[in-house]
Amino acid sequence: MSKRGYAASKKLLTGLIGAPIAHSASPAMHERAAEALGLRGHYQLIEVAGADAAGLSLMLEGVRRLGFAGVNVTYPYKEAVVPLLDELAPGAAAMGAVNTVVVRDDRLIGHNTDTTGFARAVAPLLAPAGNAVAVIGAGGVGKAIAFALASLKVSDIRIFDSEPARAATLVSLLAPQGGARIAASVEDALSGATGLINGTPVGMLPNRGMPVAATLLREELWVADAVYSPLITPLLAAAQAKGARIMTGRELAIYQAADAFELFTGLAPSTEVMGEAFDEVMAARSSADHAA
């Protein structure tokens, strides 16, 4: 739908497909951004665990037919939806992962705003003199992170995944940009690294694990986590204890949502408004956790 169409209708239906997603701050961010632009927005959580290709196809067909401007896609379906779409934006096609599906002229078009959002978020941490960054996880989020780093001209990207074949696939996808290699272990990925990024769900509530042992962290290593529930994951808490600079999943969550909103509507939302909505969700969750 065009900008003019949204201005006329004042209605915007979007949503999120994934599981588990009850904790998501996306409804608050998208609905608040729509309100600030004079739209009546509804962001629907579509939580279905264990969906196969047929199940995902049914959900996507519903998105196509029921008036959605589009949906976001999260764990564990960012790669599974790719062959089910009508078209892929170049960036999404290059990495084989989608987190945003836009409905245009009855066609489902896949994009990846995790990449653009993470590039905006991580840029301040990168050093002009060069960077060696360890990326843990080569799934949908790890792919987006690695492609974001490549877009920022990081020339030494070390990728570790508990499934070596996934790391190998990601390195081959990054080959045209150069600078990425498979790490044989977490220790190998971190050897001489300037930065560490967790691109796995490890540490997301209710999980309280760490993708990297605390003994491998050090003060001069900046550490980022794509997980935002909790905001300070066990990994980030351990990094803080070492005196390291950290980046929570807050900025990634906000920037990827803002880029997705613009794809859905053609309108640029306020990242400040989205950030305020995100912070309110996290504060309410923290209060509920303490009350429990």
Cα–Cα distance, 25 to 208 (Å, whole number): 20
Asked if residue 109 lies in contact with residue 91, where contact means CB atoms within 8 angstroms, the answer is no
Cα–Cα distance, 286 to 246 (Å, whole number): 20
Residue 255 annotated to the active site: no
Burial label for 253, CB within 10 Å (0-12, 13-18, 19+), is buried
End-to-end CA distance of the chain: 44
Cα–Cα distance, 91 to 177 (Å, whole number): 13
Is 146 in a helix, a strand, or coil?
Answer: helix
Catalytic residue among 6, 43, 75, 77: 77
Asked if residue 251 lies in contact with residue 224, where contact means CB atoms within 8 angstroms, the answer is no
Question: What is the Cα gyration radius of the chain?
Answer: 19
Q: Which residues are catalytic?
A: 77
